[in-house]
């Protein structure tokens, strides 16, 4: 398949970061500390950030990463094309060693994610998408050289399950989410619930393992940007809760509004 240089670069960066993340994941000491917002930070977050930053420096685009988010809005508001990165999305999952964390790399163009790579190092699942190219998943990925010999799952061709399936956050099952679940139960009668960590929740909708992921809780732009591209290009609705207003990126406040990810054709 004819993969663009930007997509190759992002995939390579995610896989290289994943290698080092796994070394730390299998070690005895994560070197856990707390950030100003009381969220955890590990040695793996820092090392992965540096690896991704180094690889993406081969391009001419600036980079906004969770582990380097001190860049002022005055500077970044002029960026029409830039990388948005979360070196480890799901640090709590990483610390719990449940495998449900990801490396997220997105390319943002005019406030929209036009390229996305989500890599789950423990699962060895790689999701990637780019406008004009498509949205795909590879299972049991190892190195970039394997891409041409790997089996590509075309996410644009996947369909959601017959029994309406909702993805919910393991740690954010609040009253608004429960109300949404109740509405779907009234609408469909029988529904299923699935719970995953990190941006895997969005990817599960993109791959057709679930119909919908409603998020009535706080997320940051780097939490969603890469998976947003994968889901949108895989024929999913990615919007605010009105299912019409698109999410935009590189806002002055990098906090996302509440949103819903839905496989196209499902209400």
How many other C-beta atoms lie within 10 A of the C-beta of residue 74?
8
Segments forming the whole domain that contains residue 235:
157-263
User: Do 63 and 145 fall into the same domain?
Assistant: yes
CATH number assigned to the domain comprising residue 86: 3.30.540.10
User: Do 66 and 37 fall into the same domain?
Assistant: yes
Helix (H) / strand (E) element for 102: namely strand 102-109
What pLDDT does residue 37 have? 65
The residue from 156, 179, 210 where one domain ends is: 156
The residue from 94, 126, 156 where one domain ends is: 156
- Collapsing DSSP states into helix, strand and coil, what is residue 4? coil
Write down the mean pLDDT value for the chain.
92
User: Do 98 and 24 fall into the same domain?
Assistant: yes
Q: How far is Cα 82 from Cα 78, in angstroms, rounded to an integer? A: 10
Which residues on neighbouring strands pair with residue 250, listed in sequence order?
Answer: none
User: Do 112 and 183 fall into the same domain?
Assistant: no
Q: How confident is the model at residue 39 (pLDDT cuts 50, 70, 90)?
A: confident
pLDDT per position as a tens digit, 45-82: 999 999 999 999 999 999 999 887 679 999 999 999 99
Q: How far apart are the first and last CA of the chain?
A: 34
The residue from 137, 156, 175 where one domain ends is: 156
What pLDDT does residue 187 have? 94
177 phi and psi, to 5 degrees?
Answer: -65, -40
User: Do 85 and 19 fall into the same domain?
Assistant: yes
Domain count, the chain: 2
pLDDT per position as a tens digit, 142-174: 766 667 778 899 999 999 999 999 998 766 678
User: Do 115 and 40 fall into the same domain?
Assistant: yes
Q: Nearest Cα to 199, choosing from 142, 259, 114, 130?
A: 259
How many other C-beta atoms lie within 10 A of the C-beta of residue 4?
13
User: Do 131 and 68 fall into the same domain?
Assistant: yes
Q: How far is Cα 174 from Cα 139, in angstroms, rounded to an integer? A: 32
What pLDDT does residue 266 have? 46
Q: Identify the residue whose tokens are 């040695």.
A: 43
Residue 267 has pLDDT above 50, yes or no: no
Quick one: what percent of the chain has pLDDT higher than 70?
Answer: 94
pLDDT per position as a tens digit, 120-149: 999 999 999 999 999 999 998 876 666 777
User: Do 252 and 187 fall into the same domain?
Assistant: yes
User: Do 125 and 192 fall into the same domain?
Assistant: no
User: Do 116 and 161 fall into the same domain?
Assistant: no
User: Do 107 and 193 fall into the same domain?
Assistant: no
pLDDT per position as a tens digit, 167-217: 987 666 789 999 999 999 999 999 999 999 899 999 999 999 999 999 999
HSE value, Cβ hemisphere, 13 Å, CA-based, for 109: 7
Q: Indicate the pTM of the whole model.
A: 0.94
CATH number assigned to the domain comprising residue 247: 3.40.190.80
What pLDDT does residue 146 have? 67
CA separation, residue 185 to residues 63, 264, 267 (Å): 42, 19, 12
Instruction: For residues 236-253, give the mean pLDDT.
Output: 97
Instruction: For residues 20-33, give the mean pLDDT.
Output: 88
User: Do 202 and 216 fall into the same domain?
Assistant: yes
Structure-model confidence comparison of residues 41 and 61, the more confident one:
61
């Amino acid at each position: 398949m004819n993969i663009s240089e930007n997509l190759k670069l992002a995939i390579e960066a995610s896989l290289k970061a994943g290698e080092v993340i796994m070394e730390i994941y299998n070690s005895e000491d994560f070197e856990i500390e707390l950030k100003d917002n009381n969220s955890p930070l590990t040695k793996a977050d820092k090392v992965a950030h540096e690896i991704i930053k180094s690889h993406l420096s081969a391009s001419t685009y600036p980079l906004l990463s969770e582990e380097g988010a001190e860049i002022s809005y005055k500077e970044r508001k002029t960026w029409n094309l830039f990388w948005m990165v979360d070196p480890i999305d799901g640090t709590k999952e990483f610390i719990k060693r449940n495998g449900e964390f990801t490396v997220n790399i997105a390319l943002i163009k005019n406030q929209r994610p036009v390229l996305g790579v989500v890599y789950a190092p423990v699962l060895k699942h790689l999701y990637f998408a780019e406008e004009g190219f498509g949205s795909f998943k590879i299972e049991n990925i190892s190195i970039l050289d394997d891409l041409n010999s790997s089996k590509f799952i075309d996410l644009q061709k996947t369909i959601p399950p017959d029994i309406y399936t909702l993805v919910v956050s393991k740690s954010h099952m609040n009253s608004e989410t429960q109300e949404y679940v109740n509405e779907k139960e009234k609408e469909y009668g029988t529904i299923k619930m699935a719970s995953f960590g990190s941006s895997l929740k969005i990817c599960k909708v993109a791959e057709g393992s679930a119909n919908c992921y409603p998020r009535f809780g706080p997320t940051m732009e780097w939490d969603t940007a890469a998976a947003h591209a994968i889901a949108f290009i895989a024929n999913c609705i990615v919007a605010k809760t009105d299912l019409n207003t698109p999410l935009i990126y590189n806002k002055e406040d990098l906090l996302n509004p509440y949103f819903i990810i839905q496989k196209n054709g499902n209400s």
